[in-house]
Amino acid sequence: MLVAVMGVVGGIVAAAVGAVIAAWATLRARRKQDGAISFVDVTVKDAESVLAEPDADARVLGELVPERPVLDIAVCNEGDLDGIVRRVQVDVEGLLHVPPIEPPFVLVLPGATITAPLPAQQRRMGPSAAYAVNFPLREGSYRYSVSQLIPAGAVDRFTVSLVAAEAERGRDFYGVSLSLDCGRTKKARARATWESVRVLAYGPPAWESPDEIRERLSRMADRVRELAPSDGESVGVLFNSRVHPARTAMDDYITVYENKLKVLTAALGECLKYAADDTRIRTWLTELERATGEIEPLRHHATALRASGGHP
């Protein structure tokens, strides 16, 4: 009799538990999922191309800064409810500065024997100006509060104008990773991330033309002829914070130029990966390739200057 009662009770409990589980599953199925925002794509544009779009919103145009990179961000909301992007975080890393090659300055150091490059005192330069910037030009994480509503099931696009303070026009590159903090409430926060992309900080890249380098080599040779004694060991040529022996200064100058072209080519190659329109970057790369092709003629020019007499 007891066994029969226990069997009945067990059956009732099992049925009740099954009903609860079924009800919970039904409620869960009916409950709408929160907004689920994820990246579709991130590309790098220049502000001018976004400004030229025929359907650009006036509010967007007011936030873009000319000659600064723009992240063109496409996101989608795969949830059942509207989602909100509440904060954008950019992580800046891999700073690269490509300085100009200074015109050579020929000088005499009486009593000195210059047989190898010597360090010169480094010039100290402070920031040239402060503008309406988004973040300083140094590595770190920078966060910005936004309120970008992404309707359920929709794909949206917005831009982030990257304005790095103290960046020199055409000379600074950096990598930037992107994160979005999303959610309709503070408790329901989620994060979407995008891998690092490399950008040119400000304006088109800048480098000296082969003709400029050739002219500087000629002026260098003329000046060395004027100042050099018979051995020329006390004459040095100052550029980019080092004093170079007159005997090797022209070759050293060409090597610095060649290395700069290589660095710019590699950096622009990284920028090319996420460029929305690669036309401008490919044009710059073609021009750099032409300049690199002039390295050997520049070396021949330096050899001819030395052979013309009067140069150590």
What is the structure's pLDDT at 311?
62
What is the structure's pLDDT at 133?
33
Element (H, E) at 235: strand 235-239
Q: Is the pLDDT of residue 59 over 80?
A: no
* Pairing relationship of beta strands 37-46 and 135-136 according to DSSP bridges: unpaired
* Pairing relationship of beta strands 164-165 and 135-136 according to DSSP bridges: parallel
What is the structure's pLDDT at 122?
43
Reduce the DSSP state of residue 74 to 3 states and report it: strand
What is the structure's pLDDT at 124?
35
What is the structure's pLDDT at 233?
74
What is the structure's pLDDT at 312?
58
User: Rounded to 5 degrees, what angle do the CA atoms 102, 103, 107 make?
Assistant: 110
H-type alpha helices, the chain: 2-30, 47-51, 58-61, 210-227, 249-272, 279-292, 295-307
Each residue's pLDDT tens digit, 152-169: 777 888 788 888 888 899
Each residue's pLDDT tens digit, 287-308: 999 999 999 999 999 999 988 8
Q: Is the pLDDT of residue 82 over 70?
A: yes
Domains and CATH numbers, the chain: 37-98+134-200 (2.60.40.10), 105-119+206-307 (no CATH)
pTM, two decimals, is 0.75
Q: Which of 150-164, 180-194, 251-265 has the highest mean pLDDT?
A: 251-265
> What are the CA-CA distances from residue 197 to residues 1, 80, 133, 158 (Å)?
76, 31, 20, 17
| Closest by CA position to 221, among listed 195, 188, 193, 254 | 254
* Pairing relationship of beta strands 69-77 and 83-97 according to DSSP bridges: unpaired
Q: How confident is residue 21, by pLDDT bands cut at 50, 70 and 90? A: low
Each residue's pLDDT tens digit, 83-99: 888 888 888 888 888 88
- Between 33 and 139, the higher pLDDT residue: 139
Q: Which of 9-13, 56-60, 145-149, 261-265 has the highest mean pLDDT?
A: 261-265
What is the structure's pLDDT at 8?
45
